[in-house]
Amino acid sequence: MPALPSVRPRLRRQAAVVRRVLPVLGLAGSLALTGCQISSPNATEPTSAASSSAGSTVSTSEFSTLDAAGVDQIRATKTARLDMSSGSLKKADVRVTEDSYGPEINTRGSGKIALTIVAPNGEIAGETDRIRFNTTDQSPDFSEVTYFLTADSAAEYFGLIRDGVQRYGIDGGSAERWISSTEKDPEGKSDFSITPGTSTGLEVNYDLRYDGAKDTQVIIVHVSPAA
């Protein structure tokens, strides 16, 4: 009986093919299970910086606004900075409508506001617990900013007046005559408006409200465009 041909070499070749195919199938299976995708080496992802900057509404202005949010911030920070460097305070610049009369900001009992008004020449500044605005509902500007300075003694009060003379060009002769008269009668009462100063490019008027019988003396400061 003739010998049967050997099949062992063929079986070896089939086994080798199976061994080569199995790793490929294993890789494909793992990719399918994990949901992996091969992306282009040039593909880019959006950065968090770009995403966070889109639609940003952060204001970089150094000046206060007089809308509701701005007034809340003034009350919270006890700081207000108004821009009258052009010679006036424009309603649009402080985010109020043209027919607005502006807010009255009163922080009596909760601390004073550090108010700064940037003028054409320098700044007007004071610590106050009350700020008001004067205008009409037809004007695009505020015609006047008013704030209140207070002092707990006659000496402090006279110091505030002399500071206004030095810084804003308020009439020194008029101021000293009033101080001299009041020193002679410290318990008296006087309402007196000192001749305004214009050295800042704005008109600054000190309206004195003195009552020696009271513990606190008041200066009403009026800041308006220079005539």
Query: How confident is the model over 34-93, as pLDDT tens digits?
Result: 443 333 334 333 333 333 333 333 344 799 999 999 999 999 999 999 999 999 999 999
Whether 138 is covered by a domain: the verdict is yes
Give the residue numbers spanning the domain of 108: 68-225
What pLDDT score does 58 carry? 35
- Amino acid, single-letter form, for residue 162: R
Q: Do the domain assignments include residue 95?
A: yes
Residue 73 lies in a domain: yes
> Mean pLDDT, the chain, as a whole number?
82
CB atoms within 10 A of CB 74: 22
What's the domain count of the chain? 1
- Residue 132's pLDDT band, with cuts at 50, 70 and 90, is very high
- What are the angstrom distances between the C-alpha of 129 and each of 78, 149, 159? 9, 8, 19
In a domain, 101, yes or no: yes
Bridge partners of 208, per DSSP, are 192, 219
